[in-house]
Amino acid sequence: MEPKQLRALLRQVRAGRLPVAAAMERLAELPYAELGFAKVDHHRRLRTGFAEVIFGTGKNVADTVAIAERALAHAPAVLATRLSDAQVSALSRRFPGALHNERARIVRIGRAPRPAYRGTVTVVSAGTSDIPVAEEARETLAAFGGRAKPCYDVGVAGLHRLLHRLPELRRAAAIIAVAGMEGALPSVLAGLVPCPVIAVPTSIGYGASFGGLAALLAMLNSCAAGVTVVNIDNGFGAAMAALRMLRD
């Protein structure tokens, strides 16, 4: 409740136009109103007309469809991530116009918002096996009104491929760098570009990658100053972090 509104309310009480009981009812929300405001404001900025994200993991098919239906009642669009084949089929049947990104295991229902953030996020992947995570980031950006551009398969073992893309990388407003194995890509990139580099370790690797732990630790220990890191395989989280950085 803004001070202005509170003052108006108290004046109504004094003037006898608002009964004490009614005033109390409205004031009962005060303790959380400030927080709620924060929440809504936050969402407005970050989501720009996009009301719901559904994480598919661990939800059965019927529930997934039902949640999507409920969400569309009060939101222009829905982004469903980490979907199984069965969940994808059910959502595609129920919402014929839905967009399906197979590699990212994502379905988007409803129209994408107009771009509402500064600049373009370049989503870089080290290997072809890292692309599903990179695509999760790219689709999330698109769904929330961010501009995204892929730059895939430029791992550090083939440095010439990476350097070939350098001019465009240096124009990015932010870079999401997706890599498994030894996770060196963000360190090399951050030495070459001035923009934020969000590192996403992937669980791609054999043996001593320990489900992405090797890449995660490498990224946290980057010798290039200013790299930040999100959870293993968390393309969604990287995209949300980029949006926080690029709101006006």
Q: Which of residues 152-191 bind a second copy (CB under 8 A)?
A: 155-160, 163-164, 166, 170, 174, 180-184, 187-188, 190-191
Q: Using alpha carbons, list the distances in angstroms from residue 152 to 8, 64, 95, 107, 178.
A: 57, 31, 31, 21, 9
Nearer of residues 45 and 100 to a second copy, judged by Cβ: 45
User: Does the footprint of a second copy cover residue 25 (CB under 8 A)?
Assistant: no
Distance separating alpha carbons of residues 246 and 47, to the nearest angstrom: 12
Helices 85-94 and 61-74 cross at an angle (nearest 10°) of 40
Nearer of residues 97 and 137 to a second copy, judged by Cβ: 137
Distance separating alpha carbons of residues 75 and 52, to the nearest angstrom: 7
Taking CB under 8 A as the binding criterion, the range among 33-41, 72-80, 89-97, 146-154 that sits at the site for a second copy is: 33-41
Q: Mapping DSSP to helix (H, G, I), strand (E, B) and coil, where does residue 6 land?
A: helix
Nearer of residues 97 and 175 to a second copy, judged by Cβ: 175
**Residue 112 near residue 138 (C-beta atoms within 8 A):** no
Site for a second copy in 75-114 (CB under 8 A): none
- Please report how close the Cβ of residue 107 comes to a second copy at its closest, in angstroms: 18
User: Does the footprint of a second copy cover residue 74 (CB under 8 A)?
Assistant: no
Out of 2, 32, 49, 72, the residue judged to bind a second copy by CB under 8 A: 32
**Residue 218 near residue 190 (C-beta atoms within 8 A):** no
**Residue 79 near residue 53 (C-beta atoms within 8 A):** yes
User: Does the footprint of a second copy cover residue 245 (CB under 8 A)?
Assistant: yes
Per-residue binder mask for a second copy (CB under 8 A), 208-237, x = binder: xxxxxxxxxxxxxxxxxxxxxxxxxxx-xx
- Please report how close the Cβ of residue 97 comes to a second copy at its closest, in angstroms: 26
